[in-house]
A = this chain, B = another copy of it.
């Protein structure tokens, strides 16, 4: 990092705010872009993002803004931290104002509905001339800003770009490890949110931790089954952004996707759950995409199909999960 380097984080949710905090603490002049002007103002006035990351004081060098074209002037590093359904739109709004050679970091975990594009593919389509990286791994935002040790992966086909991002975030207790397997990192991050909804349902149904451990094991197998034919590397899926994030999301109290599954199992409707959540649970939208990708690849994804039946076909969670456990646990290995 050179003195006076500037970074923009697009999206002032909890993860965007935490990453802006890390960059600012590392010496970047960091602009945190919130689409709603009142949100940026409130963050600035409170000195913290009360809504999405309460209790974390903004460090020196972090400025909330709501004028994106202005923020992007002269910026070499842009982190895109919006939920995947709005990712393409965010890229389009960035594209007019960012310079050639801008280094982009996607931190969104999902697969675009309809197109079934991964976020790095959306960046390449919408932000030509940029350099693309993807950051993913087991990382609750709140723990990162409490400086609890956190290890994630930054993936890129452009090794120099990955190294630059690694350097940009260094110096805090958030560590980034480079990896070339963009496909594996993105698919792992997407699938784990779907499995986490099933994990929440297991919890909400009172099925216990033995069942949960079996589900996580089969969840990793399902992730591999889907991602390997699409070009992912097995090691990536067994690494931080695959298994690591799967375990965190399926067992950690802070996981939104897990909460969705638990509340569905307890009888709440999806509409009521979504209406009550301030933050997006990515797994809800990703489930359909994962099922569609699996159809395309010709592989079976029984856990994702089960979540799909619960979310989109109103199948009672108990019945759906019992069908799954009956089916899924026929043999130890199947591919």
Contact = CB atoms under 8 A, between A and B. Distances in A.
Interface of A: 137-140, 143-144, 146, 148-151, 153, 175, 177-179, 206-214, 216-217, 220-221, 235-236, 238-240, 243-245, 247-248, 251-254, 325, 329-333
4 shortest interchain CB distances as A-B pairs: A148-B208, A138-B213, A213-B248, A217-B244
A233 B177 CA distance: 27
B252 A207 contact: no
Contact of A211 (B150, B177, B253, B330): B150
Contact of A210 (B148, B209, B212): B148
Given A148-B211, A213-B240, A239-B332, 9 more contacts: A138-B213, A148-B208, A148-B210, A209-B251, A209-B254, A213-B247, A214-B244, A216-B247, A247-B247
Contacts of A143: 208-211
A316 to B, nearest CB: 17
B209 A151 contact: no
B149 A325 contact: yes
A206, A213, A333 — which one has the most chain B CB atoms within 10 A of its CB? A213
B208 A146 contact: yes
A244 B221 contact: no
6 contacts: A138-B217, A148-B207, A151-B211, A216-B244, A217-B247, A220-B243
A194 to B, nearest CB: 18
B150 A210 contact: yes
Contact of A220 (B212, B238, B254, B331): B238
Given A209-B251, A332-B179, A238 B239 contact: no
A119 to B, nearest CB: 20
A210 B221 CA distance: 22
B151 A329 contact: yes
A239 B333 contact: yes
A209 to B, nearest CB: 4
Contacts of A139: 210
A137 B137 CA distance: 26
